[in-house]
């Protein structure tokens, strides 16, 4: 009898284990197509960047127009988040694209496109601040979270208050630390792209980003 019970228990465990494996396989079968779709999307995006970079290096003016269409909003928001007013951001964004066109020979390939363009924009911003030393930066805009259907008004108000504190804290960071936060967390560049944009090594960028986060934590606390 004991042997029979143990055997039944073992069978039950085996059946449960097989059921779990079956469930895992179903989940994987559901996720794998999505993963492949995401990989294909990234591959397609990279091919498009490579094609655009090649056309830009050949001096294709149509590619220059396409570059502006793709990146104008991103670079404009970057300028706003670095503390420039709307009008300044529009002017500096246009200046960034003009400089990009004049220095198109420095673009290596499609992989470097994001970092290369943001680096030019960052230089344009720095030159502006040097010419206007002592000027106070404008407040950061377009840094918010979507209102979820499950949020209460009190939660939303609390989130807005916290985000307002974060915006103010970011604006008080030293320029290099502020740039690191904006590039990675607000412009959503990868560490490699953000380091390229800042003109520094990845390890240096990570260290700078870590210092920025510690500084923000102290200010908000």
Q: Would you give the distance in Å from CA 13 to the centre of its chain?
A: 46
Closest CA to 100 of 139, 65, 126: 65
Query: Which domains does the chain show, CATH number per domain?
Result: 21-130 (1.10.1740.10), 158-221 (1.10.10.10)
Record the pTM: 0.70
Q: How far apart are CA 108 and CA 112, in angstroms?
A: 6
Q: Is the separation of the CB atoms in 191 and 184 below 8 Å? A: yes
Q: Is the separation of the CB atoms in 179 and 82 below 8 Å? A: yes
For 98, phi and psi rounded to 5 degrees?
-65, -45
Regions of the chain short of the pLDDT cut 50? 1-6, 35, 38, 142-152, 154-155
Q: Would you give the distance in Å from CA 200 to the centre of its chain?
A: 17
Helix (H), strand (E) counts: the chain: 8, 0
Query: What is the Rg, in whole angstroms, of the alpha carbon atoms belonging to the chain?
Result: 25
What was the pLDDT predicted at 3?
45
Q: How far apart are CA 94 and CA 111, in angstroms?
A: 23
Q: How far apart are CA 77 and CA 177, in angstroms?
A: 18
What was the pLDDT predicted at 14?
64
Q: Would you give the distance in Å from CA 199 to the centre of its chain?
A: 17
What was the pLDDT predicted at 24?
58
What was the pLDDT predicted at 68?
94
What was the pLDDT predicted at 7?
55
């Amino acid at each position: 009898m004991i042997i029979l019970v143990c055997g039944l228990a073992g069978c039950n465990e085996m059946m449960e284990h097989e059921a779990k494996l079956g469930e895992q396989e179903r989940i994987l079968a559901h996720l794998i197509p999505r993963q492949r779709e995401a990989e294909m999307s990234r591959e397609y995006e990279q091919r498009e960047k490579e094609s655009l970079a090649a056309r830009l290096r050949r001096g294709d003016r149509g590619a220059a127009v396409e570059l502006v269409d793709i990146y104008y909003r991103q670079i404009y928001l970057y300028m706003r988040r670095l503390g420039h007013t709307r009008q300044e951001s529009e002017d500096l964004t246009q200046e960034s694209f003009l400089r990009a066109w004049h220095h198109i020979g420095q673009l290596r390939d499609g992989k470097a496109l994001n970092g290369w363009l943001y680096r030019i924009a960052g230089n344009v911003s720095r030159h502006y601040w040097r010419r206007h030393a002592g000027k106070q930066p404008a407040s950061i805009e377009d840094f918010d979270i979507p209102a979820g259907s499950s949020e209460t008004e009190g939660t939303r108000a609390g989130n807005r208050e916290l985000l307002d504190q974060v915006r103010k804290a970011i604006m008080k960071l030293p320029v290099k630390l502020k740039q690191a936060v904006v590039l990675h967390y607000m412009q959503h560049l990868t560490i490699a792209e953000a380091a390229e944009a800042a003109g520094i090594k990845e390890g240096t960028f990570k260290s700078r980003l870590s210092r920025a986060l510690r500084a923000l934590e102290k200010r908000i606390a």
